[in-house]
Every structure is written in C-alpha cells, then in structure tokens.
Chain A
Amino acid sequence: AQSVTQLDSQVPVFEEAPVELRCNYSSSVSVYLFWYVQYPNQGLQLLLKYLSGSTLVKGINGFEAEFNKSQTSFHLRKPSVHISDTAEYFCAVSAPGTDKLIFGTGTRLQVFP
C-alpha cells in the first residue's frame, strides 16, 4: 500500500521569497506522483506530475518538483512566490495497477506582501 506525508500543515512566506513544500511517500513499488493546488473555494487542479524519466518536473505557474527515489520525496518548489500563490497544496501518489490516488493532508501556503 502507498501513503503520503506532508510534513508542514502551514507555510507562511513573504512575496518574492522562495518556497519549498515537502512531500514524502511510502511504497514498495514504483509510483506516480502528483501535486495539486486548491485555491480558496475551488476544486483541486493539477500542478504537475512525475510518471517516469527526468526527476525534475516543471508545472504550471512557475512551480517545479524533484523526484528523489532514495529519499522517497517529491518536494515542490518555486523560486519567487506571488500573493496569488496563496492556496492549499496537496501531494498525491498512485501505483501501477491500483485504481486510486492517495492524498496527503495538504499544506496551506500563505503569501504575505
């Protein structure tokens, strides 16, 4: 079975500062990894995904994530955040042959001016 841990429930940061949102997963098999974003009062939308190949994945809105198999991590980064990046971010994992996504509990990113 797979599981996901998002270590930080909240991350406050000032505008134009860099940010890293942490995600660790557990699985005995190879995995697919996702980051979703949820803006206030909206549904989730896909930011980026890792399926295979290059471990550095670029997504929408200037976000990127790096898959690290040895550390079982998939941390999300942005070099310079904007007020509009204030949202909840969810890491998720699935495995070949399974039929569900397993979500972390989410990290609330709050960007201050």
Chain B
Amino acid sequence: NAGVTQTPKFRVLKTGQSMTLLCAQDMNHEYMYWYRQDPGMGLRLIHYSVGEGTTAKGEVPDGYNVSRLKKQNFLLGLESAAPSQTSVYFCASGQGVFHWNEQYFGPGTRLTVT
C-alpha cells in the first residue's frame, strides 16, 4: 500500500496563478483533510471531507477550494495564488469519528508564491 500520496512535491507559482494539489489514498478511508503548516503555527485545517461528494470548511478556508469526486482523491485548489499562501501543505486521511479521528499523513507539498 502506498498510503497517502501527494502531487506535486514542490511548486513555485507567481501571484495570481492557479493550481491544484492532488491527494490520493488507498486505505479506503472515509475522511480526508487538507492542512497547511507554517513556522510556529503548527498545523491548521483548511478544508476536510467526511465522505465522497462532501466537503466542509476548516480553520483557514479563505482562498482555497476543494473537491472530493472520488472516495480516494481529495483536490485542493488555489484560484488566484497570493504570497500569504506560501506554505507546506499536508493531506491526511482516516476513518474519522469511527476510529477516534486518527489520521495518516502524506509527505507534503512545498508551495512558494512569488
């Protein structure tokens, strides 16, 4: 099993450009999450999904959109990138409330917006 994978690993964007980050999991998990990690701020939840076709806002959703068209994939989109979105992005998956919210993380995507 590959677990949780993220594509791409690195990306540099110019302000105003758009991009999509892809997260895939092969553990048949119901729940998927997108976090951003910034120095001194820990992990902050952007959006999450409790099942195929559902999404919900987390702590810092502004400037991001998500879609969960297939159970195994969770996409994070930036429509118009800003320098404040420079960060490391982590995807995670788990069985949510059915399994104590324990989560499994991908390796991360390092995004720089210039």
- Chain A positions within 8 Å of B, measured between CB atoms, are 9, 32, 34, 36, 41-46, 49, 51, 90, 94, 96-101, 103-106
Contact = CB atoms under 8 A, between A and B. Distances in A.
Contact of A99 (B50, B90, B92, B106): B50
Contact of B102 (A9, A34, A99, A106): A34
Interface in B19-71: 31, 33, 40-43, 45, 48, 50, 58
User: Which 5 pairs from chain A and chain B are nearest by CB?
Assistant: A94-B101, A43-B105, A105-B42, A44-B105, A32-B100
What is the interface residue range for chain B against chain A?
20 to 34
A105 B42 CA distance: 4
Per DSSP, chain B at the interface is mixed
Contact of B31 (A41, A90, A99): A99
Contacts of A43: 4, 90, 105-108
Interface in B70-84: none
A46 B4 CA distance: 14
Q: Say what secondary structure dominates the interface of chain A.
A: loop
Contact of A45 (B31, B42, B105): B105
B97 interface: yes
A103 B48 CA distance: 15
Contacts of A46: 102, 104
Interface string B81-114: 0000000001010001100111111111000000
A91 B30 CA distance: 23
A106 B107 contact: no
Nearest to B106: A43
A104 B42 contact: yes
